[in-house]
Amino acid sequence: MKPIYKQPGRFLGVLALGLALVLPWAGSQAAHDIRGITGPTFNLYAFPFNMNLPDGSSVHMWGFGDIDAGANASFHRDPDDPTGPFIQYGAGYGVPQYPAPTLIVNQNEAVTINLSNFGVPQPVSIVVTGHQVTAMGSGVEGLVTQASPDKNSLPPGTPNTVTYSFTASEPGTYIYHSLNGANPGLHAEMGLQGVLIVRPTGYNATSNRIAYNEAGTDYEQEFLYLLTEVDPDLHFEVERGHFNHSTNSDRLATIWFVNGRVFPDLFQGDFNTLFPNQPYQALALAHPGDKVLVREVNAGHDPHPFHHHGENMFFIGRDGRALSSDGLTADLGRSDNTLNSAPKQAVDMIWTWTGKDLNWDIYGTTTGPLGRPDLAHSCSNPACPDGNGDGFDDGTGDACWDVSTREYCPDHNKEFPVNLPGVADLSLGGWWSGSPFLGDTGNLPPGEGGLNPFGGYFLVWHSHAEKELTTFDIFPGGSLSSMVILPAAAPID
């Protein structure tokens, strides 16, 4: 196989993709963790900001920010290199953000969130799905709990911090958001919403990556898919101080987000400075065979049918509870390729792409249509156990997959099944590598392609209410994100 990802020029080109390739070439099974800030104590503030969209417009938002400016941002390191360096994403990041900071805590911790309103013109509160939260401090009585009033509305020096306390008794994925004011949906609509992740007691970032304590919830890669939507007209009214001009009957969302960004911004990396208030990417990455934990959360007001290309996912948890009949195994989860994502619902699922049974060699062959001598490669388990001759392995796990390339060996050396039309007969996507083979690139006309120098397989993950692939009436945009299958040796962190 042509070692294209070793060429420095293409390596640099990957930055355009948002793939954070800071690790040296290692050939190891690196892994991605959801970015966030760790507890058990969080100090958040609320403040308004304006957020730019790719069509050039901006939307007025209210956001939560981290007073500690990422001092407790989560650390990640290569699980195959447990003595290697820690990398901290989001250190120094403290602006108000959309969505709110992802809070990461451990099961059974006593969690404290101190909230101070630095400038949102209405008292702001925090409610946390699935938890019994106690509020105390210097707030005012709000709709359902204490709320922090705008400090600018108080005499100088008046305390306005509210402390929310709870015990993170069950692992899983939860939503926290503000719920206050005459229009109870306004605060979440304006952006005062984020995700809380509770790691199970048995979790270890390098040796035991699990979503729940139940079996069947282990994973290699972890990604957040936070779905929200915005009605910009409502935000324009709020920006002008007309807090009561919009009611539920007027609301019609026309911008759809994943992790607070729209296509194509959401392909760019975490904490990209192009998007100062939208720190989180929504480009998922995996190698063939990786178990990918997707924490898919709908924090919006509308339902979204979210579709995953490439393979089905297996549901393992919902709203902070494993889908289990016996507390031992996540045995009640089903398979689907589209999540019926209801508002304020959080679903945890495992997605795995193996390339199995395509009936052609994903790394290409030396003969047949599109064959090339430089595509020659080996597969180290060509005779995997298939006693009954059904073409599948006999349930012995990874026996059929090459250890280093993750190729499914029964498909090894099978020629590509058809000839592809010439480039003049094709329209070419920007993320098309020019080759159907994984880790390969082909010759493309000038100005075409170029956004996929790794030869990754882009498998889009998007709302299947295709109207939602627009940003304020412009296609393409909205909640069109992607998973990228990368060659096994490509680093993911």
Partner 1 sequence: MNKLIKKALPSAIALALLGGANLVSAAVNVQCPGDTDGDAVIDSPDPDHPNAVCKHLIAGDSFSVMSDGNPMYMFGFGEQTGTDPAVVIGDGILDAEWPGPTIELDQGDEFYLSLSNVGTVIRPDLFDPHTVHFHGFPNAATVFDGVPEVSISINHGATLTYYYNIVEPGTYIYHCHVEASEHMEMGMLANLYVHPQQDVTGCDPLTNCPVATRKGGTDPGAPTGYTYNDNDGTTAWDVEEPIQVSSFDPDFHDASLFVQPLPFAALEAKYPMINGRGYPDTIIPGDLPAPTDNMAPVAGHPPGKVTGNPGEVLNNGTPVQTEDSVITVTQGQTLLLRLSNVSIDRFYTLKAQGLPMKIIGTGSRQMRGQTGKNIYRDVSSVNFGGGEIHDVLIDTADVAVGTYFLHAAELHQMSNLTQLDGGMITEIEVLTP
Return the range that interacts with partner 1 (CB under 8 A); candidates 65-73, 142-150, 186-194, 348-356: 348-356
Q: In the structure encoding, which two tokens stand for residue 348, read together?
A: 């945890």
Smallest separation (angstroms) from partner 1 to the CB of 491? 21
Residues 42-61 that bind partner 1 (CB under 8 A): none
Give the x-and-dash track for 201-230 against partner 1 (CB under 8 A).
---------------x--------------
Residue 470 in contact with partner 1, rule: CB under 8 A: yes
**Residue pair 419/402 in contact by the 8 Å Cβ criterion:** no
Q: Which of 460, 437, 438, 441 is nearest to 450 (CA)?
A: 441
Task: Tell me how far apart the alpha carbons of residues 53 and 55 are, in angstroms, rounded to a whole number.
Answer: 6
Contacts with 94 (C-beta within 8 Å, 6 or more apart), sequence order: 65, 66, 67, 68, 69, 70
Q: In the structure encoding, which two tokens stand for residue 207, read together?
A: 């040796």
Residue 424 in contact with partner 1, rule: CB under 8 A: yes
Task: Tell me how far apart the alpha carbons of residues 469 and 262 are, in angstroms, rounded to a whole number.
Answer: 9
Neighbour count for residue 416 (Cβ, 10 Å)? 21
Smallest separation (angstroms) from partner 1 to the CB of 455? 10
- Write out the H or E segment, with its range, that includes residue 136: strand 134-137
Return the range that interacts with partner 1 (CB under 8 A); candidates 139-147, 155-163, 279-287, 328-336: 328-336
Residue 460 in contact with partner 1, rule: CB under 8 A: yes
Nearer to partner 1, 6 or 334 (CB): 334
Give the x-and-dash track for 9-48 against partner 1 (CB under 8 A).
----------------------------------------
Sign of dihedral through CA atoms 315, 319, 321, 324? negative
Nearer to partner 1, 163 or 452 (CB): 452
Nearer to partner 1, 81 or 250 (CB): 250
Tell me how many degrees the CA angle 300-320-263 measures, rounded to the nearest 5: 35
Residue 331 in contact with partner 1, rule: CB under 8 A: yes
Return the range that interacts with partner 1 (CB under 8 A); candidates 29-37, 188-196, 292-300, 422-430: 422-430
Residue 340 in contact with partner 1, rule: CB under 8 A: yes
Task: Tell me how far apart the alpha carbons of residues 100 and 93 are, in angstroms, rounded to a whole number.
Answer: 12
Residue 113 in contact with partner 1, rule: CB under 8 A: no
Amino acid in position 218 = D
Residue 335 in contact with partner 1, rule: CB under 8 A: yes
Residue 310 in contact with partner 1, rule: CB under 8 A: yes
**Residue pair 292/220 in contact by the 8 Å Cβ criterion:** yes
Q: In the structure encoding, which two tokens stand for residue 330, read together?
A: 């996540």
Residue 439 in contact with partner 1, rule: CB under 8 A: no
For the CA atoms of 459, 461, 467, 469, the dihedral, rounded to the nearest 10 degrees, stands at: -80
- Using CB under 8 A, list all residues that contact partner 1: 216, 252, 254, 303-305, 307, 309-312, 314, 323, 325, 329-338, 340, 353-360, 362, 391, 417-422, 424-432, 436, 452, 457-460, 463-467, 469-470, 472-476, 480, 482
